[in-house]
Amino acid sequence: MTEGTGIGARVRRTEDNRFLTGKGRYTDDINRIGQAYACFLRSPHAHAKIDGIDTGAAKNAPGVIAVLTGDDVAADGLGGIPCGFSPTGTQAPQNAPPRPALVQGKACFVGDLVAMVIADNLNQAKDAVELIQVDYQELPANVDPAKATDPSTPRIHEAAENNLVAEWGIGDKEAADQAFAQAHHVTKLDLINNRQIPNAMEPRCSIGEHDEANESYTLYTTSQNPHVTRLLLAAFVMQIPEHKLRVVSPDVGGGFGSKIPHYPEEALVTWSAKKVGRPVKWTADRSESFLSDTHGRDHVTRAELALDENGKFLALRVHTAASLGAYLSTFGALSTTYLYGTVLSGPYVIPAIHCGVTIVFTNTAPIDAERGAGRPEATYLVERLVENAAREMGIDRADIRRRNFIPADAFPYQTPVVLAYDSGNYDPILDMALKSADYAGFEARSADAKSRGKLRGIGFSTYIEACGIAPSNVAGAIGAGIGLYESAEIRFAVTGAVSVHTGSHSHGQGHETTFAQIVVDRLGVPFDNVEIVHGDTARVQWGHGTYGSRSLAVGGSAIAVACDKAIAKGKKVAAHLLEASAADIEFKDGNFTVSGTDKSKSFGEIIGAAMVPHNFPLDEMEPGLDQRAFYDPKNFTFPAGCHICEVEIDPDTGRVAVVNWTAVDDFGKIVNPMIVEGQIHGGIAHGIGQALLENCVYDPETGQLVTGSYMDYCMPRADDLPNFNLGFTETLCPHNPLGVKGCGEAGAIAAPPALINAVTDAIGVDIDMPATPEKVWRALQSRAQAAE
Amino acid sequence: MPTVSMTVNGQPAAGEVEGRTLLVEFLREHLRLTGTHVGCDTSQCGACVVHVNGKSVKSCTMLAAQADGAEVTTIEGLATNGELHPMQAAFKEHHGLQCGFCTPGMVMSAVDLLNTNANPSEREIREWLEGNICRCTGYNNIVKAIQAAAGQTGG
Ligand code: FES
Ligand code: FES
């Protein structure tokens, strides 16, 4: 174990002291002087015409300051909530009907925003919402992505014929078809990637404030990317200059993708704060979160893998119907297109791949990224096909993977689906996992389980991930409205204190610790002298925020580059002080030394000399040492890993117990192993949740959200999970200055197929997620009946 | 409006509340003790756990009026003289928290567990935590932290 506080050390987290003592400052902990409270009326219908809204009684209720509807929004000329992604590679440009902040004339999902009440206190606002009368005319609804384009399915938006967002495709269909025609064996799978609700534990919260003196606004909000929210809200919705809006996202209690999008509630509290002349605060209760946070996944897929007689993969063909809900969210189709189709090659050589996605609207909450975003969906189908193919062809599940892995000497490796993997070495990962999971001992454990009346199964998942999203030119080429570089600014105080202002946002990832370790490692300054600043557009120059496992690879690299710039200038300062030439100055372990001598200055001394330039080469350079970097990565990063899951199933109840979990991952250089392990734990738990417990269900007839509370939507609890057995290999990322890859989503990507492969191994039949006791029990019954 | 008074973290606290005011609202909105969180509206998540007369209670599931006259301890009252409580220290040492939102409830619940059962098995810990949801950690390190706080080696 690396000692100290630099890269590789298990530094205990800086942020923990405030979180552990109740001093965290989450958005709902903030109260502004004179603030009023907002409460929303949401549509109780999945699809309904609105013929009238009577707000009279609500307006006259005690404490009520304002009751606002879509007509007020339209009268003030507020823009719709924008979508920042329009995929290329579609047959026609995507249909992007506008999403007004409050609906006018029509509601499109249960939870759609119909009216807003602002009152002196929260209870008054809640009471007044009950008094609003809405004249709804219910319309037939559709919640099934596979049925959305049927001519008989009711149309949700005038602008979107057949409820189609777009038809998107990637890869070479002809080449894939040809390979299938010559295949020795074809494995087919129809599967559903079950809809999920991300469920960060902190519900969303937003406080809008207007400053009359400066004609400017402040929004405190639970966001993973406050600068992006500022851009969307200022430029598109409010249509004010960006500098007239400050967005603050302080401590944020988890995101998992659901706090990436810019939401209408954020726009409404900001807009209405000026209207009512008071700060306006809104905090979601959990029921609102279920209804209105963006959801994830929701794919209906047919996938086929073609193999030759040796179990070598020849081609992969995929068609998916994917819902984006009732409106396009901020990143819209990104998770269902490029983040999905481009990772279908997995860690394998698959000579031909084609994937088509029919992207549709349904009468459900909007869908956007959820931990993994597209990559879990891709990995799930590939890994299930691979495991089924092995079973069908009588090849060991480890062997079939080994036969098809991209060889270590083939990198950089160009896949048939756009991505070029920069580095990887998959065999050692598999070897370590097999050993660590005692794969050889599985048969004995299985026999033992059998003697206890249990069915034991084992399942693998060998994944790759494309993360550290992304080079800006690639982001532009695939249809993103923004660049995806990251910014860092490093500022030095006279006394030697270092402030690092980062555009990444921490909502559990521990940046205040990890990023400080990078600075300690680079500059040799004491850990306690370093402060990481994030989450406030007034304090941080610009940023794209945190998602796609990009904080360390992109945001951390920006910090490293800014540090290097400070070192470069520091060398010149040291040369002056030490009366040497800059070319002779070496920087190591925090000291500038004239090479071959013991003449040296510490980084702290150089900071002092630069900030108090009494003896400073002022004719050559400006005083100060502050530096700024905008780091645009050259490529994605490509972590990889192997997860092995073992389950025991009680055939009488169908209950699946996860009894062993082994994960071996390659994240390149690891800055803080303790934090990385925590990320893997959380990711696996999220993936086990999807595979075993969590399922977002809308009633197929009425479009009501059936799983709208923790009583109905089954979150993983402590007693559902095992301890996780982790291991790491290290192949450095060759193109970023830290050699890092990113780890936040890996567990959620790897876990679902490993678990379902283990269940299908145990019960001998295919099953869709989540593998609930009822589903497993029914599968066992039907297998028994079929055998009779 | 009725008045309630109670002892919170050793200090007398009183206020006028509506009958429907929950204990958690009283703590957060009246006393501005925002360390206790609200994560749900169905009494499932445990982000709101505090101690009432020494027992862990979901403060979203109790009216402020029901706590009249009670001794309440919140996460803010757990450390003494700036020293973390051993459970808080164990959570930090073993990385039992990430975003920190579930943490106050987790810690308060875990403290009550060890008050009730000084040497719980891993299964008993996991079962005790059934009423506390964490989305970030996968519970692995929360369990470890509690084992360590219980003085169990290998925790
Ligand atoms: S707030 Fe969720 S149980 Fe109390
Ligand atoms: S640490 Fe984030 S929910 Fe537990």
Instruction: Indicate the pairing of strand A591-594 with strand A420-421.
Output: unpaired
Q: pLDDT confidence of A470, banded at 50, 70, 90?
A: confident
- Report how far residue B152's alpha carbon sits from residue A546's, in angstroms, rounded to the nearest whole number: 37
Do residues A741 and B76 make contact, with C-beta atoms less than 8 angstroms apart? Answer: no
- Report how far residue A432's alpha carbon sits from residue A644's, in angstroms, rounded to the nearest whole number: 11
CATH class of A426-464+636-788: alpha beta
Q: What are the domain boundaries of chain A?
A: 16-22+485-631, 426-464+636-788
User: What is the B135 CA–ligand 2 centroid distance (Å)?
Assistant: 5
- Over residues A530-551, the pLDDT tens digits come to 999 999 999 999 988 888 888 8
Do residues A767 and A393 make contact, with C-beta atoms less than 8 angstroms apart? Answer: no
Interface contact A21-B37, CB threshold 8 A? no
Residues from chain B contacting residue A710 (CB–CB below 8 Å): 40, 42, 44-45, 133
- Over residues A740-784, the pLDDT tens digits come to 999 999 999 999 999 999 999 999 999 999 999 999 999 999 988
- Phi/psi at A518 (5° precision): -60, -45
Neighbours of A653 (CB within 10 A): 11
- Over residues A640-655, the pLDDT tens digits come to 999 999 999 999 999 9
Interface contact A719-B138, CB threshold 8 A? no
Q: Which helix (H) or strand (E) holds A58?
A: helix A56-59
Model pLDDT, residue B155: 43
Is the Cβ atom of B135 under 6 angstroms away from ligand 2?
Answer: yes
User: What is the A452 CA–ligand 1 centroid distance (Å)?
Assistant: 39
Ligand nearest to the CA of B48: 1
Is the Cβ atom of B102 under 6 angstroms away from ligand 2?
Answer: yes
DSSP string, A123-169: HHHHHHHTT-EEEEEE------TTTTTSTTSPPS-TTSGGGEEEEEE
The answer to whether residue B36 neighbours chain A at the CB level (below 8 Å) is: yes
Which amino acid does the sequence have at A607? I
Interface contact A254-B127, CB threshold 8 A? no
CATH class of B86-149: mainly alpha
Is the Cβ atom of B98 under 6 angstroms away from ligand 2?
Answer: yes
* Residue identifier of the C-alpha nearest atom 1 of ligand 1: B38
- Report how far residue A321's alpha carbon sits from residue A167's, in angstroms, rounded to the nearest whole number: 9
Q: pLDDT confidence of A474, banded at 50, 70, 90?
A: confident
User: What is the A156 CA–ligand 2 centroid distance (Å)?
Assistant: 37
Is the per-residue pLDDT at A1 higher than 60?
no
Q: Within the 97-126 window of chain B, which residues sit less than 8 Å (CB to CB) from chain A?
A: 97-104, 107, 122-123, 125-126
Selected for mutation to probe chain B from A21, A690, A723 (highest B CB count within 10 Å) is A21
Q: What are the domain boundaries of chain B?
A: 3-77, 86-149
Interface contact A709-B41, CB threshold 8 A? yes
- Over residues A675-696, the pLDDT tens digits come to 999 999 999 999 999 999 999 9
- Report how far residue A756's alpha carbon sits from residue A647's, in angstroms, rounded to the nearest whole number: 10
DSSP string, A746-768: HHHHHHHHHHHHHHHHHHSS--P
Interface contact B140-A29, CB threshold 8 A? no
Q: Which residues partner with A663 through β-bridges? A: A643, A726
Ligand nearest to the CA of B23: 1
Is the per-residue pLDDT at A340 higher than 90?
yes
- Over residues A89-134, the pLDDT tens digits come to 999 999 999 999 999 999 999 999 999 999 999 999 999 999 999 9
- Over residues A187-223, the pLDDT tens digits come to 999 999 999 999 999 999 999 999 999 999 999 999 9
Which amino acid does the sequence have at A594? V
Which ipTM value was assigned to this complex?
Answer: 0.97
Superfamily of chain region B3-77: Beta-grasp domain (3.10.20.30)
**Nearest partner of A465 among A384, A400, A379, A545, judged by Cα:** A379
Model pLDDT, residue A476: 87
CATH class of A16-22+485-631: alpha beta
Interface contact A682-B137, CB threshold 8 A? yes
* Mean pLDDT value across residues A168-191: 98
User: What is the A577 CA–ligand 2 centroid distance (Å)?
Assistant: 49
Fold match flag (A16-22+485-631 vs A426-464+636-788):
yes
Q: What are the distances in angstroms from CA A667 to CA A374, A406, A716, A738, B14?
A: 19, 17, 26, 11, 53
Whole-model pTM: value is: 0.97
* Mean pLDDT value across residues A49-59: 98
User: What is the B46 CA–ligand 1 centroid distance (Å)?
Assistant: 5
Model pLDDT, residue A3: 67
Summary mean pLDDT of chain A: 96
HEC readout, A258-327: CCCCCCHHHHHHHHHHHHHCCCEEEECCHHHHHHHCCEECCEEEEEEEEECCCCCEEEEEEEEEEECCCC
Structure tokens at A739: 């050699």
- Over residues A12-26, the pLDDT tens digits come to 999 999 999 999 999
